[in-house]
C-alpha cells in the first residue's frame, strides 16, 4: 500500500519534507518511523489524516502521516532536540 509521509520542524533535517512510501499491508506508524531511521528517544506527535494516533495504529492505503517533534510545552525537560540530532547527517535533496 502507498501512504504519504510529511516531516515537520527539526525532523525535516532527517529526510525529505514529503514523500510517498510503499508499505506492506497492516504496517503501523512505528514501522514508518523505523523505515525513516528517525533517532530513538525523540517523542513524536503522530497525525494520520488529521487525527492523533499512537505508534501501533494500522495504516491504510492513501493515509497521510504527519510527524512532528514536540514544539513547545508538555515536557518538563528542554524540548530542543538539536543536541540529540548532532552527528546525524542532514538530508540534502539530490
Q: What string of pLDDT tens digits covers the 94 residues of the chain?
A: 999 999 999 899 888 899 999 999 999 999 999 999 998 888 899 999 999 999 999 999 999 999 998 776 554 444 455 544 545 555 555 4
Distance from the first to the final alpha carbon of the chain: 25
pLDDT at 42: 83
pLDDT at 58: 98
CA quadruple 85, 39, 35, 53: dihedral, nearest 10: -110
pTM over cut 0.85: no
CA quadruple 22, 46, 10, 83: dihedral, nearest 10: -110
CB 15 within 8 A of CB 34: no
pLDDT at 39: 84
pLDDT at 90: 52
Task: Determine the topology of domain 2-85 in CATH.
Answer: Ubiquitin-like (UB roll) (3.10.20)
**CA torsion through residues 30, 24, 38, 19, sign:** negative
Amino acid at each position: 500500500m502507498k501512504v504519504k509521509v510529511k516531516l515537520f520542524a527539526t525532523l525535516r533535517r532527517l529526510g525529505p519534507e514529503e514523500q510517498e512510501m510503499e508499505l506492506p499491508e497492516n504496517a503501523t506508524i512505528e514501522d514508518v518511523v523505523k523505515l525513516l531511521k528517525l533517532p530513538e528517544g525523540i517523542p513524536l506527535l503522530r497525525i494520520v489524516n488529521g487525527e492523533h494516533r499512537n505508534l501501533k495504529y494500522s495504516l491504510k492505503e492513501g493515509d497521510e502521516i504527519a510527524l512532528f517533534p514536540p514544539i513547545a510545552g508538555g515536557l518538563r525537560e528542554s524540548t530542543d532536540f538539536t543536541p540529540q540530532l548532532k552527528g546525524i547527517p542532514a538530508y540534502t535533496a539530490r
